[in-house]
Amino acid sequence: MKRRNFVAAGAYGLGAMALNPLLRMHGEGGGMWATTVFHPAAERMAWWREARFGLFLHWGLYSILAGEWMGRTDYAEWIRNNAHIPIDTYDRLVGRFNPVKFDADAWAGMAKGAGMKYVTLTTKHHDGFCLFDNPLTDFCVRSTPFRRDICTELNAATERAGLRQCWYHSVMDWHHFEYLPRRDWEAETRAVGGAHIANYLPYLHGSVRHLLTKYGDIGVMWFDGNWEGTWTHDMGMELYDVCRQAKPDVIVNNRTEGWSQSVATRHPGDFSTPEQTIPATGLPGVDWESCITMNHNWGYNAHDHDFKSVPELIGMLVDTASKGGNLLLNVGPMADGTFPAESVDRLAGMGKWMQVNGDAIHGTTASLFAKSPFRSTTKGNRINLFVTDWPADGALPLPGLRTRPRSVSLAAQPDRHPTLNTDATGAMGLTALGAAPDPVCSVIVLDFDRPPVVGA
């Protein structure tokens, strides 16, 4: 049965037409009707663009192993594959998943306290284990001693905290019989049998529909593991379509499509996902979110204590915001349901800074300055300057600033007003800055009567 396309063409600029391959595909006819209820990107992206900062959570059966197997200690969420753990052996972890200290409100509280606006949880990672009560498989929390649906509890807690709940979901699945390929090392222990990837799709789609309809107002579907040869362009299109049908305004990342294609064209999907890196000049014209670990692993690793410092992490958040992107900062919770102490410490440290300076991050857009001795963000008639190397002589040039601010103040001390100077050439700068209000990164606020102009 053919359903009617709901697209109101007038709602889209030409840009959206060119950028959205779904529109192109359906627009080209071929007898195929979109069943999708489209939602203008600018509308569905609004909260996400304002948010700027979110928490990534990698948690699953692998957290129980804490990165250790047969004397090696450098594994994490890839442990089943990398340590060649046979499926039957790995399955036995289900009987050990019992995070008795799990407190969803504590998790949401730490994200909120850090100044984050959303939380993206691994509902299923590559190992195939579902943290939610998935009616389509027994390989999920329902079969564990814990039994409780992690997604339900976290979703309720994020809602209570005023955060957006988002779901990470792996396309690649090392557990589902129909998913192919098998790992090359498990040819003997796990026969291909009559498996066919086409028979995996109803499971994938059903799981995604469940995640988008049985919980609250889900903000993002964050797919991953779409790079294997069995996954095709059409499968990616269909997966995107499934999301959009289930929840018209859900934001979908760019990892639904074949890997090479998504890197080359960044389509389909609503935002780009640079991993462990902040693009040098941002990604102009594209929404993007850098996902970054605090230490060297996504999933919990008991031996990895090499954490980035709070100043480093604040620097990354400022860098990302100044380039117009979001930062999705990762925590790998432990098997008992708590966060590693180092992560708790980093979140609190960032929160302390965000409490004073968060307005200069949330709801902002990229820096207007081409080259400057500071990072900056823009919000309406305001420019925020982030100064990490507070000038010893108390003077800070504002290279390229063309319009004169009505007022200059410090985010940490709103009644302290550095002096604005204009030299003989008309170049503006600040003097009499005094002492740095923040040892890590101080924010100077420039307020204008109209949107500020910065030239080369």
The binding site for ligand JFZ (CB under 6 A) comprises: 77-78, 224-225, 275, 291, 298
Nearer to ligand JFZ, 138 or 275 (CB): 275
Looking at the Cβ atoms of 304 and 438, the one nearer to ligand JFZ is 304
Give Cβ neighbours of residue 326 (< 8 Å, ≥ 6 apart). 48, 51, 52, 53, 54, 271, 288, 289, 290, 320
Our CB check for ligand JFZ shows the closer of 6 and 78 to be 78
By beta-carbon proximity to ligand JFZ, the closer residue of 69 and 78 is 78
- When CB distances to ligand JFZ are compared, the closest residue is 275
Q: What minimum distance in Å lies between the beta carbon of 29 and ligand JFZ? A: 34
Of 257 and 438, which CB lies nearer to ligand JFZ in the complex structure?
Answer: 257
Q: Which is nearer to ligand JFZ, 111 or 292 (CB)?
A: 292
CB 104 → ligand JFZ: shortest distance, Å? 21
Residue 257 beta carbon to ligand JFZ: minimum distance, rounded to whole angstroms = 13
The CB-of-228 to ligand JFZ minimum distance in angstroms stands at 11
Residues 6+ apart with CB under 8 A from 401: 369, 428, 452, 453, 454
Least Cβ distance, residue 410 to ligand JFZ (angstroms): 37
Closest separation in Å from C-beta 416 to ligand JFZ: 42
Give me the least distance between CB of 157 and ligand JFZ, in Å please: 22
- Smallest gap from residue 448 Cβ to ligand JFZ (A): 39
Q: Is 143 exposed, middle or buried (0-12, 13-18, 19+ CB in 10 A)?
A: middle
Q: Which is nearer to ligand JFZ, 114 or 292 (CB)?
A: 292
Nearer to ligand JFZ, 133 or 228 (CB): 228
Smallest gap from Cβ 225 to ligand JFZ, in A, equals 6
Rank residues 173 and 224 by Cβ distance to ligand JFZ and give the closer one: 224
Name which of 36 and 295 has its Cβ closer to ligand JFZ: 295
User: Are the beta carbons of 59 and 332 closer than 8 angstroms?
Assistant: yes
Rounded to a whole number of angstroms, the minimum distance from the CB of residue 62 to ligand JFZ is 9
* CA-wise closest residue to 51 among 114, 131, 1: 114
